[in-house]
Amino acid sequence: MADLFSEEWMNQLKDAWNSEPEVKDKLAEINFSSTICCGFKGDNSPTGVFVVENGECVRAGSWNGESADWDMRADTDNWKKWMKKPLGMTSMGMAVATGKLKFNSGDFGAMIKNPSMAGPFIKSFSLMSKIG
CA 132 – CA 121 distance, rounded (Å): 20
Domain boundaries along the sequence of the chain: 7-127
pLDDT tens, residue by residue, 59-103: 999 999 999 999 999 999 999 999 999 999 899 999 999 999 999
Q: For position 130, what pLDDT does the model report?
A: 86
Q: Name the DSSP letter for residue 44.
A: S
pTM for the predicted model, two decimal places: 0.92
Average pLDDT, the chain: 94
> Percent of the chain scored above 90 by pLDDT?
86
The verdict on domain 7-127 having CATH code 3.30.360.10 is no
The answer to whether 53 and 87 have CB atoms below 8 angstroms apart is no
What is the CB neighbour count within 10 angstroms for residue 31?
9
Q: Give me the sign of the Cα torsion angle 51, 5, 68, 96.
A: positive
The reported pLDDT for the residue numbered 63 is 96
**Measured between alpha carbons, how far is 32 from 26 in angstroms, rounded to an integer?**
9
